[in-house]
Structure 1
Amino acid sequence: MTPAAVSKNIARLEATLGIRLFQRSTRSLTLTPAGEQFQREIAGPFEAISNAFAGAAMIDGKPSGTLKVSVALAFGREYLVPMLGAFLDRYPGIVPDWHFDNRPVDIIAEGFDVAIGGGIELTSTIVARELARTHIVVVASPSFMAGRKMPTHPSELIGFDGIARRSPTTGRLRAWTLVNQVGEQCVAEFRTRMIFDDPEAIAHAAMLGQGLALLPMPHAAPGLSNGTLVRLLPAWYAEQNPISLYYPKRTLLPARTRVFIDFVVSTFEQGRLASKFDARI
């Protein structure tokens, strides 16, 4: 709609209701107290109607429409993009609109159907469905460890060069406390050789023999599987937020969102990805 059409419709609504909904000035447009009350009263019914339309959107009896998903860059590329072919074969009417970003998004404010990752703040409007437990592990390349004695306790890491991780949100270097199955704890400390703010870049630097690294299991797993990384201190790990599916809490979830959630959960179970990400196994 054009701005003129919007203004005309608002004026008509205000005339019908007999109240002023907006306070207008040359620089701002805000709701009046009466407008705020009206918005609260219609929010629930309007969302129900919107969800009903979304739920009814079908092509040949199958869900359709654009599916807006937020996912971390490396995790999405490695584990979720390979699922897309089978998903689209099953639901050809759904158009994936994926946003790759290494940050916790505001699902409601940014209009996402689903976010996949960890660390998103849970509120009364957000549902989280856990996909996998995951941990931080200590890794290095075989070439880096050549001629070096394997550490037997986290306290011995201080003698190794390592790749530190800086938090992109706080700017601080991440510190990890390792634990083992019997409950012992020890802070992982090493000589900082370089500092990165992206775990995927840290994984590649570690594969190239540039130092040991503390990596989330999803980032370490490919290297551990193909032999470009070895795990140091296999009995030790650090806790991390689980990988979850996050989506808006609604009475009627759009069909495209519902089938995508079920598909991802099923694919994780069939591929036993949860066991690959759990450092305790």
Structure 2
Amino acid sequence: METLANLESFVRSAETGSFSAAARRLALTPAAVSRNVAMLERNIGVRLFQRSTRKLTLTEAGERFLEAIGGNLEALQAAIASVGADQGEPAGVLKVSMAPSFGMTYLLPLLPAFRARYPQVRPEWHLENRSVDLIAEGYDVAIGGGFELSSGVVSRPVAPAHIIAVASPAYLAGRAVPTSPEELADFDGIVMRSTRTGRVRHWTMRDVAGAEMAAHLPETIMLNDPAAMREAALLNQGVALLAVPDVLPWLERGELVRLLPRWYADAGSISIYYASRTLLPGKTRAFIDFVTETFARERLAERFAGSLG
């Protein structure tokens, strides 16, 4: 009987065309994945890959073998995860993607309590400003907004992603307070250029009654990171349109001020993304439940809602 590790290494290497890519998905070294595949080939007496310095290519026998076990492997993994959850506490490497500003402010502070509750789970948390491919890159969970729901991925909304206008009290001193989004054109703008599209994001704001108006913020200062935009606003450099989570602690401390408190832009939802398996691994379910409980206890969905201004 072949070990699950050998079969997983084979299937992930076939899917990615690389021992290195498979290793990242499996939280192993490329050498370990290569050894597992070599052991599988030796045990069944068939070469499964044609190897070159550039890529792996399945042999004809490898293609037949992949077709035969691919779906069965997923079912076997789910069964093992289910039994493991029943027999003991969640365990294993938990690979999570999150935006840097959001992760540093709201998720990393949860790390001590999470590890205390689940000491057998080993966090591997990636703070990055991009939408990852959960399946291809081997992530257990991603938290953020704007992810495309590829096949096999589901989302669980936990809070709104509302965009509001903020500036420092010092910057606003002596300036007339704007009464509508179009009046933002009279201020210095701190705007964001997308690293993915190269374009500057412009927002249409709405008020609590449902009226909509474009926010014409000048492109005075251009940055590519929300945390950097917030810092520029704290340095009295102008007005920034940012998600409530990125500025909430500074608003609560009075270091930033919200302009147009009845206006906001709707950027969708902050969601937890994970693979749509029938039976989630215990470590994944534990993390999702832990974050959801924290959001409810701290009333973050309500506090993140710009529409309540």
CA distance in 2, matches of 1:70, 1:131: 16
CA distance in 1, matches of 2:209, 2:253: 30
The answer to whether structure 1 residue 31 and structure 2 residue 62 are counterparts is no
User: Could you say which residue in structure 2 is the equivalent of 1:226?
Assistant: 253
> 1:6 offset after TM fit, Å?
3.5
> 1:73 offset after TM fit, Å?
0.7
CA distance in 1, matches of 2:88, 2:36: 35
CA distance in 1, matches of 2:198, 2:58: 38
1:267 to 294, 297, 300: 294
User: Is the CA contact (8 Å cut-off) linking 1:59 and 1:93 kept in structure 2?
Assistant: no
CA distance in 2, matches of 1:237, 1:131: 19
- How high is the sequence identity, in percent, across the aligned residues? 51
> Taking structure 1 as the reference length, what is the TM-score of the superposition?
0.90
Q: How is 1:118-157 mapped onto 2 (pairs within 5 angstroms)?
A: 118-157=145-184
CA distance in 2, matches of 1:203, 1:35: 52
The answer to whether structure 1 residue 171 and structure 2 residue 202 are counterparts is no
CA distance in 2, matches of 1:162, 1:25: 52
Change (3 A) 1:191 1:31: same
> 1:26 offset after TM fit, Å?
7.7
Secondary structure of the 1:231 match is strand
CA distance in 2, matches of 1:66, 1:229: 38
Alpha carbon RMSD of aligned pairs, Å?
Answer: 2.3
Change (3 A) 1:236 1:24: same
> 1:55 offset after TM fit, Å?
4.0
User: Could you say which residue in structure 2 is the equivalent of 1:10?
Assistant: 41
1:206 to 233, 236, 246: 233
> 1:23 offset after TM fit, Å?
5.2
User: Could you say which residue in structure 1 is the equivalent of 2:3?
Assistant: none
Change (3 A) 1:179 1:92: same
One-letter amino acid of the structure 2 residue matched with residue 52 of structure 1 = A
Secondary structure of the 2:306 match is coil
CA distance in 1, matches of 2:121, 2:36: 31
2:262 to 235, 238, 248: 235
Change (3 A) 1:41 1:164: same
> Taking structure 2 as the reference length, what is the TM-score of the superposition?
0.82
1:196 to 223, 233, 241: 223
Structure 1, unpaired ranges of 5+: none
The answer to whether structure 1 residue 96 and structure 2 residue 123 are counterparts is yes
Corresponding residue pairs, total: 277
Secondary structure of the 1:280 match is helix
Structure with greater contact order relative to length (CA < 8 Å, sep ≥ 6): 1
Change (3 A) 1:204 1:174: same
User: Could you say which residue in structure 1 is the equivalent of 2:19?
Assistant: none
> 1:9 offset after TM fit, Å?
3.3
